[in-house]
Amino acid sequence: MKDEIENKIKRIIRYEAKAIINIPVTEDYQKAIELIYEHVHRRNGKLVASGMGKAGQIALNIATTFSSTGTPAVFLHPSDAQHGDLGVIQQNDVLLLVSNSGKTVEIVQLLDLVEKLFEDVHIPKIVISGNPRSILAQSADAFLYTGGPKEVCPLGLTPTTSTTTMTVIGDILVSLMIEKIGFTPEEYAKRHHAGYLGRKSRAIQKRNSVDVISVKPKSNDSKQE
């Protein structure tokens, strides 16, 4: 019985790992990074992430991770957008939409609402989806394909492998943006005042400060002495 469970666990891990490895790497990642950089870091806009259900939870995680690493982002629930929260979107923002099917009704409706809100301004859209032929994929300025893996769930229904690949794509975007903006442990520490990560980032900051002092060149007066 124990061996049977262990074999099942290993099979699930291998399946999820294979799905990650098979995520297509395209030039749209570069497009996505440039869109975020241009609108958030040059035009002082923000990243507005949205998704429904489990995909929405992934969108929320991506938004909060971006915010904690120097790229302002918020999560907009697509249903709440229809009850006034749409007003959080501004003309310099960029949208990040997460939907495995690429045709989630609430997200498609959100696109229509945004277009009506800004009739003369194009709000760029980055879409993470498992369906390249969907309406969201076709409307995207940058489309990040998950590879469309089948769910590892025994029912083949529960968002499992799809959300794994979505999360990884989010991690890719965050990591690339950290490098692009030159985000440092010192800046990280300013945004994390509590918890383990707060202590760790301040320790790195302190160590870096000590390293700078230790390699500081001696002044001419010191040499004369």
Average pLDDT over residues 6-13: 96
pLDDT of residue 225: 39
CA angle 44, 45, 46 (to 5 degrees): 125
3-state secondary structure of 47: strand
Q: What is the mean pLDDT of the chain?
A: 90
Whether residues 122 and 210 fall in one domain: no
pLDDT of residue 222: 45
Structural domain range at position 16:
2-183
Whether residues 34 and 128 fall in one domain: yes
Whether residues 198 and 154 fall in one domain: no
Whether residues 147 and 208 fall in one domain: no
Whether residues 116 and 206 fall in one domain: no
H or E element that contains 97:
strand 94-98
Residue 117 phi, psi dihedral angles, 5° rounding:
-70, -40
Whether residues 205 and 105 fall in one domain: no
Whether residues 50 and 147 fall in one domain: yes
Confidence of residue 186 (pLDDT cuts 50, 70, 90): confident
Whether 213 has a pLDDT exceeding 80, the answer reads: no
Whether residues 178 and 149 fall in one domain: yes
pLDDT of residue 57: 98
Whether residues 148 and 218 fall in one domain: no
Whether residues 82 and 41 fall in one domain: yes
| DSSP state for residue 150 in the 8-state scheme | P
Residue with the bigger pLDDT between 216 and 138: it is 138
Contacts of 67 (CB under 8 A, 6+ apart): 73, 74, 191
Whether residues 178 and 192 fall in one domain: no
Average pLDDT over residues 80-105: 97
pLDDT in tens, 13-55: 999 999 999 999 999 999 999 999 999 999 999 999 999 999 9
Average pLDDT over residues 124-135: 98
Confidence of residue 136 (pLDDT cuts 50, 70, 90): very high
Q: Which two tokens stand for residue 22?
A: 């098979």
pLDDT of residue 187: 86
- Supply the pTM of this predicted model: 0.87
Q: How many domains does the chain have?
A: 2
Whether 224 has a pLDDT exceeding 90, the answer reads: no
| DSSP state for residue 88 in the 8-state scheme | G
Residue 49 near residue 74 (C-beta atoms within 8 A): yes
Whether 202 has a pLDDT exceeding 80, the answer reads: no
**CATH code for position 55:** 3.40.50.10490
Residues above pLDDT 90, as percent of the chain: 80
Residue with the bigger pLDDT between 143 and 217: it is 143
Whether residues 121 and 207 fall in one domain: no
pLDDT of residue 194: 58
